[in-house]
Structure 1
Amino acid sequence: MPREPWTPRLGAIAQPDGTCTFRVWAPFVDHIDLHLTAPQERVIPMQRDVDGTHTITADAPPGTTYLYRLGAVERPDPASRFQPGSVHGPSQVVGRDFDWHDAGWTGISLDETILYELHVGTFTPEGTFDAIITHLDALVELGVTALEIMPVNQFPGARDWGYDGVLPFAVQNSYGGPDGLKRLIDACHARKLAVVLDVVYNHFGPEGNYLREFGPYFTDAYNTPWGTPLNFDGPGSDEVRAYFIENALMWIDEFHVDGLRLDATHAFIDFSARTFLEELAATVHAHADRLGRRVSLIAENDRGDDRLLRPPELGGYGLDAQWSDDLHHVLHTLLTGEHVGYYRDFGLFPQLVKALRLGFVYAGDYSPFRERRHGSFRADLPGRSFVVAAQNHDQVGNRMNGDRLSALVPFEALKLAAGIVLLSPYVPLLFMGEEYGETAPFLYFTSYGDPDLGRAVTQGRRKEFKDHAWEGDAPDPQDEATFLRSRLNHDLRGQSQHRALLDLYTALIRLRKERPALRALDKERAEVIGYERERVIVLHRWHADGDALIAAFNLGEGEVSLALPVPVGTWREALHSADARWMGPGYTPAAWTATDPAALTLPPQSFAVFVREG
C-alpha cells in the first residue's frame, strides 16, 4: 500500500491544479497581504487564524514570485523554497515535481559511512551543484560512501560558508537552486553515494534576518556568541520548533537526503522537559521509518555530552552520532606541536591512545582551556557514535590563514594522519582535497551587501586573531580574492606526491571495506596499546569470523624498533606508508608466524598494517 505523501504546512505549497496555498505563521502581525510580483502583479489579502497563521490560496503556478506585505514593509517568505535574487527580494513558488531515479535507494548504515565534506562554492571553479556531479565518479573511485555538504540555505550574496543563512528552506540561488540540489542528490544515489546535509538550527545570520518581524522566533531570555538565540522553550516555542522540524522533514522527503549534520548543538538553549533535539530526533526517525529509509542525525557539540547519543529510554536525545573533536585535537597537536587556544587541552601522547580506544579524551576531566571539568562520555558508546577527522572545515577555516594540514606537517605525517583516521573503529570524515594534499587554503569568506556589516565582520575577524596571538593581518572575508584563493585545484590529483597520497587514501579505504575487522565499528573488538617512550601506537582489531588486523603507528621523528605482542597466526604485511609506491623513504619488510613477540622496525612518522592469513 503506497504511503500518504508528506505535505508541507508552511510556505508556498503548489497544488496540482495550478493554484498555490500560501501559509505563514506571523502572530506579531494583524494583517498580511500577499503581493504576487510576477508574471502578473496582484495584491491579495490573507486570512488570519486565531493562532496567528495567515493563509490564502491563489492562482500562482511554479515560477510565480511573491512577497508578504507587513504594513509598510514587504518581506520574503520565512519558508521560501527559492530566492531568485537575494535574501531581501521576492520568493518564488517551486513545484514539487522532479524526475527522480532513486526508487530503490534506502540509504546506508553508519558502519558503511565514509564521509567527504565539501563546500559547494569552492569545490569547483563553477561553484554549483551540477559542477560537483562531474567529480562524483572520482569520489567513488576514492572509496567514499557519503557526501557531507556544508549549508546550502540562502545567504547574502554569492560567497559564504553557509552558516550565515537566513532562509533555511531556500536553496542558495548561486549554487543552482532546489532543482540543482536534487540533480546532485539523484546523481549521488545513482552511484550509491549517500548525502548528508549540514543544517543550522542554532542561529540566523545578521543580514536579511526578518524572522523576528513575524513572530517569537527568538528569545531575549538568553544570549549566545551569535547574538539572540532561537526560542525553543519560551512562549510560542511550539510553532518555532514546528518550523525547524518541518525544515528537516523537507530535506528528507522532498530532497531525499540521507542525513543531517546539526551545527553547534551546544548553542541551543532549551530548558524544556522534552527538548527540541529530542523532538527533532524522534520525528525524523519516525518519518524515515515510514519511508523505509535510513536517515542519520549527526551532531556537532562542544560539551562532550553523551546524552545526545543515548536512546530516549535511557534518558538520551536519540541522535545517531556526533563529531569527535577530541581525536582531531590531540592528533593535530602531536603532529604540529601547536598548543594555543583550545589546543592547550591536548598534546599528550596518552590522550591519543584514549581517543582511539574510546572515541573521546575528556569525560569529566579537568580542562585547562575551560578552567573546569569537561565532558561526560561513557566507554560503552559504540564506534559508530563518533565521526573522526584529521581535517574539517572548522579546524582548517578557523585558522587565520586557513592552513590545511598539508601546509603544516611533512608529507610522511600526512600519510600517518590518514592511517590513524581511516583505520580507527569510528566513522571517518575527509575534508575536500585532503585525499591528495590540496595546497589551497580554506579561508573564511563572506559577501554581505551592507557595507557597515561587512566592515564589522572584517574588523571583528582581525581582532579575534590578534587576541589569540596570531601574527600578521588576517585576510579580509569580504574580499572576493579571499574566496577565490580557497578554490580547489583538482589538477593536483595527478601530480607527484599528490598522486601518491591519493593512491594511499584509496588503498586504505579499500582495505577498510574489504576486511570485516575494519568494517565493523566495534570498540569491544579493538585493542589500543601505547608505547609512550617510543611514540608508537599499536591498534589490534578483530572480527567474530576470525579476521584480524594489526596497525602500528610511529608518531616519533626517529626510527623505532619494538617487539609486538602479536596473537597466534601467520601475518603478512598489507600496507606500509613508507613504501616507495606512496613515495615513502623505504623500509624493511616484515612478516611472521607469531609464537613470541614479533620484531618490527618503523621509519619516522610511518605506519604499517598486517593482516592475519587464513
Structure 2
Amino acid sequence: MKKAGAIYLGHGRCRFTVWAPEKQQMLLHLVHPEDRKLPMQPDGGGYLTLEVEAAYPGTRYFYMPDGKRDYPDPASFHQPDGVHLASAVVDHAAYTWQDSNWRGLPFQDLVLYELHVGTFTPEGTFAAIIPRLEELAETGINAIELMPVAQFPGSRNWGYDGVYPYAVQNSYGGPEGLKLLVDACHARGIAVFLDVVYNHLGPEGNYLSQFGPYFTDHYKSPWGDALNFDGGWSDGVRSYISENPLYWFEHYHLDGLRFDAIHAVIDNGAVHIWEQIHQQVKKLEQRLGRRLYLTAESDYNSPRVVKTPEMGGFGFDAQWLDDFHHALYVLLDKKGQERYIDFGKMEQLVKAYNDGFVHSGEYVSFRKRRHGASSAGIPGDRFVAFNLNHDQAGNRAKGERLSVLVNTERLKLAAAALLLSPYVPLLFMGEEYAEEAPFFYFVSHSDKDLIHAVREGRRKEFASYKWETEPPDAQAVETFESSKLHWEKRRHGKHRLLLDWHRELIKLRRTHPVLQEVSKNSVRAHVIGSQGLMLHRQTEDGQQHLVCLFNFSERPLSCPLPDWSPTWQLLLDSTAAKWQLRKKSPGEPIPDKEKSNAPIQIPPLAVLMFEAGQV
C-alpha cells in the first residue's frame, strides 16, 4: 500500500503523495519559505505524487485539487497553525530516541491511566506531564493512555473532533512534544497508549471530501459522516486508516492503541477493516521485535472482538468492559439505577467477575431487545475494567466524578473491587487520589453555526437523561479550566488516604501470585446474603488461594470462611486504623488468623482479603 503524506527523504528532498482518485489535476502549493506551485503526477490507484528539492522540515504547503483552492494535506503530519492553514513537512528521522532498551510490558501486568493532555496540568502540554511521571510510577501506574491527540480545531477539545489522524495537536506540543513524552515514560518503565478514532472525523477543518470519496452516505455515524470502507474507491480510504496505527507505532514508539467505538464502523467487505489492521500490525510487530497492543471500545458485548481473524474475530488484544463498571457503580451509588436501569443486582457483579459480560443474550430494557453473547472462559487480560473514564464523568450534566457521588468508604470499596479483579484495570486521571474537579465536555470551535449546534445537541442529549440542570457551555473557556486537576490535593486528607489505598492495592496486585492469575478457571465469585460478595481467586495450579469479602451494605454482614484451607491469614482490611481519616470507636476486631468455616463479621461498606495458610 502507498503511504500518503509528505515523506522527508533527507538533504532537502521530500516526496509528497496524496490520494485523490477523481481529480483531473493536483497542484502542490509550497507557501513557505518560498512560494511555488508544482503539478503532481499520477502514480496509480488514485494517488498523485511529486518529489521536490529544497523542501526542508518545516516547509509549509497546501494541495490544490483541480488547481482551484488551497487545502491542507489530508495525511498531514503537522498542522502548526491549526486545522485550516498550511501543513508542515516533518522529518521523523531527526529525533534521537533514547529508548532503545525498551521492550514493553506484558499486557496483563498493566495498570492503565487515562489522561487528557489539556486538563492534566495547568499548562496542558506533553512537556508538563513529564514532571508528574515519577509520582505516577510510585503509585504503581505503569501505562498512560492519552485521550486522542490527532489535530482538532482550536486548543480545547476532548480529541474526538480530530480531523488530521496523522498530525499531533499543535497546542499540546506537536510531534516533538509527544516523542519527548514517550521517551520520558519509557525511561521510567511506563508504557504509552493512545486513543484513536476511526469511526468518524470531526466537522471543522475536515476537507477530505475535496480530495475524494472518503465518506459514504450508505451508513450513518452518530457523530458525523461515515467513512467509506466498502464502497467504490474504498481501497484508498482503507489504506489511509489502516496505515495510521503503523504510523503511531513506528514514528512515536507507542505501546498500544485504544480504538474508539468500533461498533460505529460499518464494513461489509470480505476482509473487515479491523482484520486488515490486525494483520498489518502483526507484520510490524515482527519487524520491530516487540508487542504492539490493540484495545477496543465496543458496544457489541461480543467475544469476537478479541478473537483472532482466523477464529472469525476482529483481532483486538482486549476490549473495554463497560458491564463491570455499570454493575459495580449501581451498587455503590443508590441513584445509579436511574442511569443504568438494567443493573442493580449483586448477581450481576458476580457475573461480571465470573464471565465478563453481564448482558450475554438477555433482554435489555434500555435497548428494548436481547443483547450480547457469553464471554465465559475468556481470560481476564482480554478485558480492560474501570470505575471511571472520560465518558462516565463527561456525560453527566455536572461532570461529577465518582469521588463526588459517593463517600470515602465506598471509594475504597470501588478501588478494591477493580484492582483485586482478574481484569486489566484502568484509572481515570486523578481517580487515584479522589480528585473532585468535574470533567466536562469542552470545545473551541471557530464556526458559529457549529458552536450553536454543539450547544443545542448537548441540551437535547441531557434532556433525555432527565437531569435537573443544563450542562455548562462547552465552548466557554471556564468549562475547560474548571476541568483541570488539582494535583496538590493528593498530599492531604482523604486524598492522601485514598492515594495510599490505591498504592497498597496495586502493590498487592503486582506482588501476589494469585492476583497475577488471569485465567477464568481460577476466578469464582458468589453472593453473600443480598448485599455482599465473595471473590475467590487462586493460582492455576491450585496451590495458593485468596478470598476477598465485599460488603456493599451499611450493616455488618456475617460470612463463614471457606473450607478450602484449614486456616486463613488476613491480608487486607479497609476498616483498619491506617485506612481511616479519623479515629472511630473500636468495633469487633478482624482476626489476623482464622480457621476455615469460622464466621467472619464484615463491617459495613468494607472489604477484607484473606490468604489461605497452613495449620
Structures share fold, TM-score greater than 0.5: yes
Q: Do structure 1's residue 42 and structure 2's residue 36 form an aligned pair?
A: yes
Which residue of structure 2 aligns with residue 598 of structure 1?
598
1:589 aligns with 2:590: yes
The residue aligned with 2:26 is: 32
Preserved contact between residue 81 and residue 170 of structure 1 (Cα < 8 Å): yes
- Partner SS for 2:249: helix
Q: For the Cα contact (< 8 Å) 2:116–2:146, is it kept in 1?
A: yes
Instruction: Give how far 1:44 is off.
Output: 1.3
Note the residue ranges of structure 1 that are not aligned, 5 or more in a row.
Answer: 1-6
What's the secondary structure of 1:35's corresponding residue? strand
Partners in 2 of 1:342 and 1:408 — Cα distance? 13
Cα distance in 2, alignment partners of residues 275 and 293 from structure 1: 25
1:266 to 240, 263, 285: 263
Instruction: Select between 339-348 and 479-488 the one with higher mean Cα deviation.
Output: 339-348
Structure 2: runs of 5 or more not aligned:
none
Change beyond 3 A, Cα 1:8–1:113 = farther
In 2, the alpha carbon distance for the partners of 1:562 and 1:378 equals: 29
Offset at residue 21 of structure 1 (A): 0.4
Q: Distance in 1 between matches of 2:273 and 2:252?
A: 23
Counterparts of 1:232 and 1:113, CA distance in 2: 33
Q: 2:568 aligns with which of 568, 571, 591?
A: 571
Q: Which string of whole-angstrom CA distances, capped at 9 and with x for unpartnered residues, describes residues 202-258 of structure 1?
A: 001110111111111111111121232101111111211111111110100110101
Q: 1: CA distance between counterparts of 2:602 and 2:421? A: 19
C-alpha displacement at 1:579, in angstroms?
1.8
Distance 2:496 2:235 in 1: 53
CA distance in 2 between counterparts of 1:50 and 1:324 reads 43
Q: For residue 610 of structure 2, give the secondary structure of its aligned residue in structure 1.
A: strand
The equivalent residue for 1:22 is 16
Partner of 2:202: 205
| Whole-angstrom distance in 2 between the partners of 1:49 and 1:311 | 34
Counterpart among 125, 134, 138 of residue 137 in structure 1? 134
Q: Deviations over 1:9-38 (max 9, x none)?
A: 210100122211000001132111111111
1:342 and 1:369 in contact (8 A); partners too: no
Cα pair 1:8 1:246 within 8 Å, conserved: no
Q: Which amino acid aligns with 1:592?
A: K
Following the alignment from structure 1 to structure 2, what is the Cα–Cα distance between the partners of residues 8 and 491? 49
Contact kept, 8 Å, 1:397 with 1:443, in 2: the verdict is: yes
The answer for the alignment partner of 2:510 in structure 1 is 513
Distance 1:598 1:22 in 2: 74
Confirm or deny: 8 A CA contact 1:28 1:213 kept in the other structure. Answer: no
Partner of 1:11: 5
Cα distance in 1 for partners of 2:350, 2:540 equals: 24
Residue of structure 2 equivalent to 1:52 = 46
1:487-498 matched pairs, under 5 angstroms: 487-498=484-495
**Contact 1:515/1:547 (<8 A) preserved:** no
Question: 1 CA distance for matches of 2:462 and 2:45?
Answer: 46
**In structure 2, what is the equivalent of residue 607 of structure 1?**
607
Q: Aligned equivalents of 2:119 and 2:528: distance in 1?
A: 41
Letter of the structure 2 residue corresponding to residue 604 of structure 1: P
Match of 1:92 in 2: 88
Name the CA distance, whole Å, in 2 between partners of 1:426 and 1:318.
Answer: 18
CA contact (8 A) 1:566 1:598 kept: no
* Residue in 1 that maps onto 2:69: 73
Superposed CA offset, 1:396-418 (max 9, x none): 11111110001111110001000
Q: In structure 1, which of residues 517, 530, 536 is the aligned counterpart of residue 532 of structure 2?
A: 536
Distance 1:610 1:421 in 2: 17
Contact 1:152 1:172 in 2 (8 A): yes
Residues 1:191 and 2:188 are matched in the alignment: yes
Kindly report which structure 2 residues correspond to 1:423-462, keeping only aligned pairs within 5 A, or say none.
423-462=420-459
User: For the residues of structure 2 that align with 1:340 and 1:69, how far apart are their CA atoms?
Assistant: 54
- What secondary structure does 1:74 align onto? coil
The Cα offsets for residues 528-578 of structure 1, whole Å up to 9 and x where unpaired, read as 121242x11111111146232111111112122221214214322112111
Take 1:509 and 1:86, find their aligned partners in 2: how far apart are those partners?
Answer: 40
Identity of aligned residues (%): 50
- SS for the counterpart of 1:229 is strand
Q: In structure 1, what is the equivalent of residue 497 of structure 2?
A: 500
1:50-104 deviation line (CA, Å, top 9, x unaligned):
4321111112010111111123221110111111111000001011121111112
Provide the rounded CA distance (Å) in 1 between the counterparts of 2:238 and 2:451. 31
Measured in 1, the distance between the counterparts of 2:213 and 2:428 equals 37
Cα distance between partner residues in 2 of 1:408 and 1:265: 30
Q: Distance in 2 between matches of 1:13 and 1:144?
A: 36
- Secondary structure at the aligned position of 1:34 is classed as strand
* TM-score normalised to structure 1 length: 0.96
Deviation at 1:346?
0.9
SS of the residue corresponding to residue 316 of structure 2 reads coil
> Which amino acid letter does the alignment assign opposite residue 479 of structure 2?
T
1:562: which partner in 2?
Answer: 559
Q: Structure 2: how far apart are the matches of 1:262 and 1:504?
A: 31
| Matches of 2:519 and 2:241, distance apart in 1 | 34
**Deviation at 1:592?**
3.2
CA distance in 2, matches of 1:425, 1:399: 29
